[in-house]
Amino acid sequence: MRIHVVDHPLVAHKLTTLRDRRTDSPTFRRLADELVTLLAYEATRDVRTAVVGIETPVAPTTGVRLSHPRPLVVPILRAGLGMLDGMVRLLPTAEVGFLGMVRNEETLEASTYATRMPDDLSGRQVYVLDPMLATGGTLVAAIDLLIQRGADDVTAICLLAAPEGVALMERELAGKPVTVVTASVDERLDENGYIVPGLGDAGDRLYGAAEG
Ligand SMILES: O=P(O)(O)OC[C@H]1O[C@H](OP(=O)(O)OP(=O)(O)O)[C@H](O)[C@@H]1O
Ligand SMILES: O=c1cc[nH]c(=O)[nH]1
Ligand SMILES: [Mg+2]
């Protein structure tokens, strides 16, 4: 597994406002959207392309286009949905699948409540969107499923990560074709499994507190 922490002043600037508790939901949504586009620019450095021939108004030449099969983008509901628009703005032809996952607030175990994506991902390049890599339970389970279905290149884009989650991924996904791209690896997790300093509950800050 590889990890890439994007070191860029615009990323740091947007992340600082995102972390600020005074930032309201509409601003938080806009910043998450802008930030994912910047992270996605780095995360798609190895997106697969094919050489094509074209003609400009002046001369024939060659260029590149995204190759087939198209990349699959998988936001992890709920909070990952806040990253989808920013991602598909950069990859408008990507196919989109959905994974609904929730972490039990006491045990911190992740469970899956919805899966809507192709059964066969053989040879597919997949981009998983989840703002928070905390204990890592959610992303490990999500990526295991994608690899079981045949994905051979998985990149997780996270706004924030905790060292504990990165370590779990390194342990559980060792030797697998997985990359994590994030704006920051923070200090630690607190006793409730929240990233410190973090930004709080990403789902709640995007969409309001969830019941049930
Ligand atoms: O690394 P982990 O310890 O597994 O935690 C990370 C997960 O927790 C949050 O989801 P949450 O369960 O709060 O669901 P939500 O997106 O519906 O708010 C977050 O969006 C991640 O998916
Ligand atoms: O800090 C955290 C940890 C998990 N999920 C969140 O939304 N925030
Ligand atoms: Mg949440």
Residue from 74, 138, 158 to probe ligand 1 pocket by mutation (most atoms less than 8 Å from CB): 138
> pLDDT grade, residue 212 (50/70/90)?
low
Q: Name the residue of 104, 164, 195 to mutate for ligand 2: max ligand atoms within 8 A of Cβ.
A: 195
pLDDT band with cut points at 50, 70 and 90 for residue 84: very high
Q: How far is CA 210 from CA 6, 31, 33, 204, 207, in A?
A: 30, 21, 21, 7, 8
3-state secondary structure 117-151: CCCCCCCCEEEEECCEECCCHHHHHHHHHHHHCCC
Q: Say yes or no to pLDDT of 210 above 80.
A: no
pLDDT confidence bin for 209, thresholds 50/70/90: confident
Q: Which amino acid is at 177?
A: P
Query: What is the residue whose two structure tokens read 């981009």?
Result: 127
Please report the ipTM that was assigned to this predicted complex: 0.97
Give the tokens for residue 43: 């995360």
Amino acid at 71: P
Find the mean pLDDT for residues 54-70: 96
What type of residue is 55?
E
Q: Is 180 in the pocket of ligand 1 (CB under 6 A)?
A: no
